[in-house]
């Protein structure tokens, strides 16, 4: 039997879960014996959203000892899992801003990075649709802004030209701005691909461990104080904790900034709707929001959203959808594509932008303590910007914090072509050789997305060792289709249990506290 690509690689770093004994294999459990607590790290990164992931990947290619911590139980579990999944060109950014500089740079780099890391990315192009004469009058200004941002492959087109490209858009469209290079991406694989390479290169990733404060010893070494009384030592620290960044910042005297979650809700439509729209459709933006868009997803669905609702700051808040929000999406999307009202929605989700009153991209080196960097206000373009931001932080750490970065000659900077998710190009069950070698590639667990037992097993054994149902969902697409896990959830839980030797009642949706077998279900099952 051919071995999965990752069975042939040597992992220099570790993935450790801060979980009770018996909730995962002992080798994956953070304990006194794992050694990470005795190391003086060069860099500690707090936060494993897309920003932390890209940074860990970038820095892993240098000779640095890196510790990476997140309170969640997988990478990309915060805002990075709930966005529009667009790689922006930066055509509508504020010219001259750091955001504009980073977005335009990153958008040009993404196709090559995605190819190297096996992250699904597709250039679909986008159209900003003007439905009134007033909106049409704003398009030339948008074109001018785009050119100021260095995005020159944009065109003003008429309503009829727009309808020739997208026949299902509203008859009321009077004109449009066509933006060639706008693209869609798999935001989940983006996070896990960065993280896999980082760990292969030697980064130590600890999941399920909240950082509570930072302090400094007399010698200038930083102490990272975590939940469960755990402490780690590092010379420099990057606080990339998203909505958690400012509250953590208060522990080390960081520059005070006012942030609040700006919620964005979305509706996900069935794959039967996918032929209706092939480009990203945007309304003419206003100063607060880009408005309700419709976009194809890389997975073959279409999405509509997001809303823009300012919520009070609450570090414990989890994003939820509301009936009012979903109504707003339906009516906003129907302006652009009236037929969307007849399309079946299969799911809804919400994400929280890190809105900062003082402005986007607040990055402060030597913030409160020497050698500590705080990143906050990475609001609406963080997915795109992540790769350029990582390089920006790296340069700042060298320049401002005295971090010495020597390239590591043996570091890898890509993933094997088999590492790409099976749903994208090479469906394993369609590959006769693979099927002959392992019939489990035809043993379907998730029928909606056609994900086989062996793909799930491969994912369980992949470098980050995902151990929750949601983490596997993000790796493979299992439980992400029409039934949203109604049919396959328990089989996936059983498979994790079987592959890892963990009792079924310790298999969770997203870490301890979210067990899928609880209360009366447990009693009925005799567990
Ligand atoms: C509705 C919406 C639509 C968007 N659309 C797009 C788009 O199309 N394109 C685009 O480029 N961007 C988009 N964005 C923006 C993008 O999603 C964000 O900018 C990006 O995900 C921010 O990443 P992050 O790593 O900073 O934050 P997060 O993903 O939130 O990661 C922060 C991490 O820090 C961890 N953490 C927090 N506190 C602690 C602590 N005390 N200890 C340990 N860990 C901690 C969290 O668990 C989390 O994993 C959108 C955002 C939203 C909400």
Q: For 495-516, what is the mean pLDDT? A: 96
**Which pLDDT does position 429 carry in this prediction?**
87
pTM, entire model:
0.96
Q: Is the confidence at residue 134, as pLDDT, over 60?
A: yes
User: With a 6 A CB cut-off, is 242 part of the ligand 1 pocket?
Assistant: yes
User: With a 6 A CB cut-off, is 203 part of the ligand 1 pocket?
Assistant: no
Compute, in angstroms, the gap from residue 217 CA to the centroid of ligand 1.
31
Q: Is the confidence at residue 521, as pLDDT, over 60?
A: no
User: With a 6 A CB cut-off, is 246 part of the ligand 1 pocket?
Assistant: no
Compute, in angstroms, the gap from residue 10 CA to the centroid of ligand 1.
30
Q: Locate the ligand 1 atom nearest the alpha carbon of residue 352 and give its number.
A: 53
Q: Locate the ligand 1 atom nearest the alpha carbon of residue 307 and give its number.
A: 1
Compute, in angstroms, the gap from residue 386 CA to the centroid of ligand 1.
10
Predicted confidence (pLDDT) per residue in 149-162, tens digit: 999 999 999 999 99
Compute, in angstroms, the gap from residue 354 CA to the centroid of ligand 1.
7
362 and 377 Cβ atoms separated by less than 8 Å: yes
Q: For 9-34, what is the mean pLDDT? A: 93
Q: Locate the ligand 1 atom nearest the alpha carbon of residue 382 and give its number.
A: 19
Q: Is the confidence at residue 525, as pLDDT, over 60?
A: no
Residue 208 in 3-state DSSP? coil
**Which pLDDT does position 148 carry in this prediction?**
97
Enumerate the H helices of 424-516 as residue ranges. 432-437, 453-460, 469-476, 489-500
Of 2-6, 326-330, 501-505, 511-515, least confident by mean pLDDT is: 2-6
User: Which has more confidence, 290 or 192?
Assistant: 192
Q: How far apart are CA 343 and CA 272, in angstroms?
A: 8
Q: How far apart are CA 390 and CA 392, in angstroms?
A: 5
Q: Is the confidence at residue 437, as pLDDT, over 60?
A: yes
Predicted confidence (pLDDT) per residue in 204-246, tens digit: 999 999 999 999 999 999 999 998 889 999 999 999 999 999 9
Q: Is the confidence at residue 513, as pLDDT, over 70?
A: yes
Q: 384-409 in b/e burial notation, b at 16+ Cβ within 10 A?
A: bbbbbbbbbbbebbeeebebebeeee
> For 40-125+183-258+357-404, which CATH class?
alpha beta
pLDDT band at 419 (very low <50, low <70, confident <90, very high): confident
pLDDT band at 519 (very low <50, low <70, confident <90, very high): low
**Which pLDDT does position 420 carry in this prediction?**
83
Q: For 132-144, what is the mean pLDDT? A: 97
Cis ω for the linkage preceding 463 (within 30 of 0): no
Compute, in angstroms, the gap from residue 509 CA to the centroid of ligand 1.
20
94-98: long-range pairs with CB below 8 Å, 24+: 95/145, 95/148, 95/149, 97/360, 97/361, 98/360, 98/361, 98/363
**Which pLDDT does position 1 carry in this prediction?**
46
Compute, in angstroms, the gap from residue 177 CA to the centroid of ligand 1.
29
CA dihedral sign of residues 266, 272, 274, 277: negative
Predicted confidence (pLDDT) per residue in 56-106, tens digit: 999 999 999 999 999 999 999 999 999 999 999 999 999 999 999 999 999
Q: Locate the ligand 1 atom nearest the alpha carbon of residue 247 and give its number.
A: 41
- CA-based angle 210:59:85, to the nearest 5? 70
User: With a 6 A CB cut-off, is 55 part of the ligand 1 pocket?
Assistant: no
Q: Locate the ligand 1 atom nearest the alpha carbon of residue 315 and give its number.
A: 38
Q: For 293-311, what is the mean pLDDT? A: 96
Q: For 169-179, what is the mean pLDDT? A: 98
User: With a 6 A CB cut-off, is 210 part of the ligand 1 pocket?
Assistant: yes
User: With a 6 A CB cut-off, is 77 part of the ligand 1 pocket?
Assistant: yes
154-163: long-range pairs with CB below 8 Å, 24+: 154/91, 154/178, 154/179, 154/180, 155/180, 157/127, 162/127, 162/129
User: With a 6 A CB cut-off, is 79 part of the ligand 1 pocket?
Assistant: yes
The residue extents of the domains of the chain are 40-125+183-258+357-404, 421-525
């Amino acid at each position: 039997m051919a071995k999965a690509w990752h069975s042939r690689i040597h992992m220099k770093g570790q993935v450790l879960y801060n979980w009770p004994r018996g909730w995962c294999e002992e080798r994956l459990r953070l304990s006194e014996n794992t050694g990470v607590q005795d190391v003086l790290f060069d860099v500690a990164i707090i936060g494993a959203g897309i920003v932390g992931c890209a940074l860990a990947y970038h820095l892993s290619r240098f000779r640095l000892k890196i510790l990476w911590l997140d309170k969640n139980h997988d990478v990309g579990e915060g805002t990075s899992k709930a966005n529009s999944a667009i790689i922006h060109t930066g055509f509508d950014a504020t010219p001259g801003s750091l955001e504009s500089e980073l977005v335009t740079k990153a958008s040009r780099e993404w196709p090559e990075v995605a190819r190297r890391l096996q992250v699904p990315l597709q250039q679909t192009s986008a159209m900003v649709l003007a439905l009134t004469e007033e909106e049409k009058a704003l398009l030339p200004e948008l074109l001018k802004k785009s050119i100021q941002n260095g995005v020159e492959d944009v065109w003003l087109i008429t309503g009829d030209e727009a309808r020739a490209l997208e026949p299902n858009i509203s008859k009321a469209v009077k004109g449009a701005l066509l933006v060639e290079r706008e693209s869609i991406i798999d935001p989940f694989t983006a996070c896990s691909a960065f993280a896999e390479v980082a760990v292969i290169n030697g980064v130590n990733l600890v999941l399920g461990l909240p950082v509570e404060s930072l302090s400094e010893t007399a010698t200038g070494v930083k102490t990272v104080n975590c939940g469960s009384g755990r402490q780690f030592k590092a010379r420099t620290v990057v606080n990339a904790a998203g909505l958690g960044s400012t509250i953590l910042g208060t522990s080390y005297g960081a520059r005070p900034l006012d942030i609040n979650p700006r919620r964005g809700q979305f509706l996900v439509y069935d794959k039967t709707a996918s032929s209706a729209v092939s480009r990203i459709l945007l309304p003419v933006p206003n100063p607060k929001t880009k408005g309700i868009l419709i976009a194809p997803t890389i997975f073959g669905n279409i999405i509509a959203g997001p809303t823009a609702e300012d919520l009070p700051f609450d570090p414990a808040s989890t994003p939820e959808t509301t009936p009012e929000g979903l109504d707003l999406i339906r009516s906003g999307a129907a302006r652009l594509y009236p037929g969307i009202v007849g399309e079946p929605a299969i799911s809804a989700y919400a994400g929280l932008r890190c809105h900062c009153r003082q402005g986007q991209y607040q990055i402060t080196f030597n913030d409160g303590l020497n050698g500590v960097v705080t990143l906050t206000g990475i609001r609406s373009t963080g997915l795109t910007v992540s790769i350029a931001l990582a390089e920006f932080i790296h340069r700042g750490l060298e320049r401002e914090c005295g971090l010495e970065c020597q390239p590591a000659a043996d570091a890898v900077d890509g993933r094997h072509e088999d590492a790409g998710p099976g749903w994208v190009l090479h469906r394993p069950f369609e590959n006769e050789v693979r099927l002959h070698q392992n019939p489990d590639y035809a043993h379907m667990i998730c029928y909606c997305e056609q994900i086989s037992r062996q793909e799930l097993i491969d994912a369980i054994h992949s470098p980050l060792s995902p151990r929750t149902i949601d983490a596997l969902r993000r790796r493979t697409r299992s439980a992400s289709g029409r039934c949203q896990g109604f049919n396959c959830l328990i089989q996936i839980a059983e498979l994790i249990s079987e592959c890892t030797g963990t009792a079924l009642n310790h298999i969770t949706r997203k870490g301890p506290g979210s067990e899928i077998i609880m209360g009366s279900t447990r009693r009925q099952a005799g567990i």
